[in-house]
Each structure stands twice: as C-alpha cells, then as structure tokens.
C-alpha cells in the first residue's frame, strides 16, 4: 500500500515526537533505532525511509523538544518560568520535560551538528525569555537570563540525580527556586 506524501510527513513527525520523549527518558545511547521505531508504531526497516542516520533523528528530536521549552517561555514571565521549571512535576516527567536538562550532558559528547541544535535552541529560549521580560516591564538583561537558566537547569539535573523519594531532591528544587526568585525580587 502506497503511503501519501502527507502521511509520510505525519509519520516522520510522529517518529520525531516519540523519539524526543524516549531520548529524554533514556539518553541518546540508551535507546536504539528498533526501540524508537517500535515505540512510534513502525518497523525498524522503515527508519531509513525517513532518516539517514540515528544522528539525524537525534538532531530533529532535540530541536523538537527544545522548541517546546521555548514555547513555554513565550507564555510566561521569568518568575513563572522558574516556578514551572523547578517544579516536582517537571522533575518527574523526564520524557516531556526540558531537553537541555535531560540531554545536555549527552549533547556535549555528540557531533557538532547536534551541538548547533542545542546552541540555536538556547538562543531561541533566551530571546523568548527576554521578550517576555520586556513585555512585563522587567529590567532583566541577557546575562541575568543566562544566569537564571543555568541555575534552574543545574538544579533540575541535581534533583533528578537523587533518588525519586529523596528529601534532598525536593530540597534542591526548593532552595534554588527561592534563591533565584529572591535575586530577581531585589
């Protein structure tokens, strides 16, 4: 049965979405092509009809996941962003959470093309947060936003590194959220 061009595009988008979540949950090396395709409801053999390599899929899935964090940033001010980012829900939902927190360490060991996706996504995030701050009349410069994002990202990574039921996991989120928001208020 012949697949239409529109269906092929929809299938590809579904594979990218599914892979984005699986990569965030398991890491780039923690999931193979067969697993990715199976989770998307396709056979392993169909992978190469859509992508040249796993690295190509990694690039697209990273861009897809990062775009979701950027969209979140477009709808909230910096304080709301920090509250959402450093929530227990975000911490626990790795597959739907921030790609940069879930895979930043993995991305550092990947080819330049993947690093470029992360850098472009980070620039988009900075632009979105800057726009939101300006729209709310906040006097926050680029350095402040970089500092805030590095702080929330690091806090989320540290919290996720603790056992799920660890009081320390919650303490990291709470202390960092309070410190970040305290700096913004002053």
Q: DSSP labels for 158-182?
A: HHHHS-TT-HHHHHHHHHHHHHHHH
Query: Tokens at residue 175, please?
Result: 């202390």
Share of the chain above pLDDT 90, in %: 83
Q: What CATH number corresponds to the domain at position 86?
A: 1.10.357.10
3-state secondary structure of 109: coil
pLDDT reading at 139 higher than 90: no
How many domains is the chain built from?
Answer: 1
Quickly list DSSP for 13-24: HHHHHHHHHHHH
For 93-135, how does the pLDDT look when each residue is reduced to its tens digit (9 = 90+)?
999 999 999 999 999 999 999 999 999 999 999 999 999 888 8
* Average pLDDT for the chain: 93
pLDDT of 30 reads: 95
Is 14 within 8 Å of 39 (Cβ atoms)?
no
Where in the sequence is the domain holding 146, given as residue range(s)?
5-185
Q: What is the mean pLDDT of residues 155-164?
A: 96
Please name which of 132, 133, 106 lies closest in space to residue 117, comparing C-alpha atoms: 106
pLDDT of 46 reads: 86
> 41 — phi, psi (to 5°)?
90, 20
Least confident range of 16-30, 48-62, 127-141? 127-141
Q: What is the pTM for the complete model shown?
A: 0.90
Q: Which contacts of 133-136 are long-range, i.e. CB under 8 A and separated by 24 or more positions?
A: 133/77, 133/78, 136/77
For 71-87, how does the pLDDT look when each residue is reduced to its tens digit (9 = 90+)?
999 989 899 999 999 99
pLDDT of 136 reads: 83
pLDDT of 169 reads: 96
pLDDT reading at 186 higher than 70: no
Q: What is the mean pLDDT of residues 12-16?
A: 96
Is 110 within 8 Å of 28 (Cβ atoms)?
yes
pLDDT reading at 1 higher than 80: no
Write down the number of H helices and E strands in the chain.
10, 0
pLDDT of 175 reads: 97
Residue 87 CA to residue 76 CA, distance in Å, equals 15
Block residue for tokens 């980070």: 122
pLDDT reading at 17 higher than 80: yes
């Amino acid at each position: 049965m012949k697949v239409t061009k529109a269906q092929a595009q929809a299938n590809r988008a579904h594979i990218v979405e599914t892979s984005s979540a699986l990569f965030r949950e398991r890491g780039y090396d923690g999931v193979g092509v067969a697993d990715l395709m199976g989770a998307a409801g396709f056979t392993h053999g169909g992978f190469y009809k859509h992508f040249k390599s796993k690295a190509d899929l990694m690039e697209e899935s990273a861009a897809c996941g990062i775009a979701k964090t950027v969209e979140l940033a477009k709808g909230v001010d910096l304080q709301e962003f920090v509250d959402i980012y450093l929530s227990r829900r975000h911490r626990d939902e790795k597959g739907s959470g921030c790609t940069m927190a879930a895979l930043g360490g993995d991305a550092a060991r990947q080819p330049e093309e993947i690093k470029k996706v992360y850098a472009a996504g980070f620039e988009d995030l900075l632009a979105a947060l800057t726009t939101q701050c300006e729209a709310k009349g906040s006097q926050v410069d680029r350095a402040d936003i970089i500092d805030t994002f590095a702080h929330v990202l690091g806090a989320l990574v540290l919290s996720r590194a603790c056992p799920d039921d660890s009081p320390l996991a919650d303490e990291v989120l709470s202390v960092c959220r309070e410190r970040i928001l305290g700096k913004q208020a002053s």
